[in-house]
Amino acid sequence: MYLAPGLQGLNRTFDRDQFPGAVPSDIMPDKILHNWEKKSAENRKRYKQFLDRADKNAVLKKLPELHEEAFSQIDCLHCANCCKNYSPRFKTPDIKRISRHLKMKEGDFIETYLRLDEDGDYVAKSAPCPFLGSDNYCSIYEVRPSDCERFPYTDEDVILKRPQLTLKNSSFCPAVYFVLQKLVDSVGKSKK
């Protein structure tokens, strides 16, 4: 039995040997998720326009429901694109908490696992994340960085406040794509 720990609404189990790697469309029954990566790329301009003009109150009202709906159909453990291809920021409280958990000095933790990116943030030195196991489970899940805990931001106003991040996330995360597409289809059409 494989469930993504901590994701509300996720109550399905899957045979992980049957679905290595990407998120199989047959475990994501909503037709919106069929070929989601291609559709996300094709709709990028439409999503950008929506995010630039969205009715903030209408979007925020829909987010909790859409977040739950997305995670009732998507098992993060079948994807882990976020952990395989991108790094969260490791903020000072994250570094302190994770170092303590790993029984490492903060400096040693930074030297072993992190680097400074072009924005001056600490990020993982390597991809996939050094804490991602071959089964797509996180070895530091209980003390993971706050960016990981909050990702994919589909139940937060970040989806509107940081439109470039939302667009980027929709290109590799089926949950972000799902929520964004549903928002465009519901909130976007009601504005016309």
Domain locations in the chain as residue ranges: 25-82+151-190, 85-149
Strand duo 122-124 + 114-116: pairing: antiparallel
pLDDT band at 32; cut points 50, 70, 90: confident
CA atoms within 13 A on the CB side of 16: 14
CB atoms within 10 A of CB 174: 26
Predicted confidence (pLDDT) per residue in 66-98, tens digit: 999 999 999 999 999 999 999 999 999 999 999
Q: At what angle do helices 56-71 and 174-183 cross, to 10 degrees?
A: 140
pLDDT at 8 over 90: no
pLDDT at 15 over 50: no
Predicted confidence (pLDDT) per residue in 146-187, tens digit: 999 999 999 999 999 999 999 999 999 999 999 999 999 988
Q: Read off φ and ψ for residue 61, nearest 5 degrees.
A: -65, -35
- Classified as helix, coil or strand, 66 is helix
pLDDT at 34: 87
Tokens of 24: 């199989």
Distance, C-alpha 19 to centroid of its chain = 19
> What amino acid is encoded at 158 in this protein?
V
Give CA–CA dist 173/190, Å, rounded.
Answer: 26
- Provide the percentage of residues in the chain whose pLDDT is more than 90: 78
pLDDT at 23 over 70: no
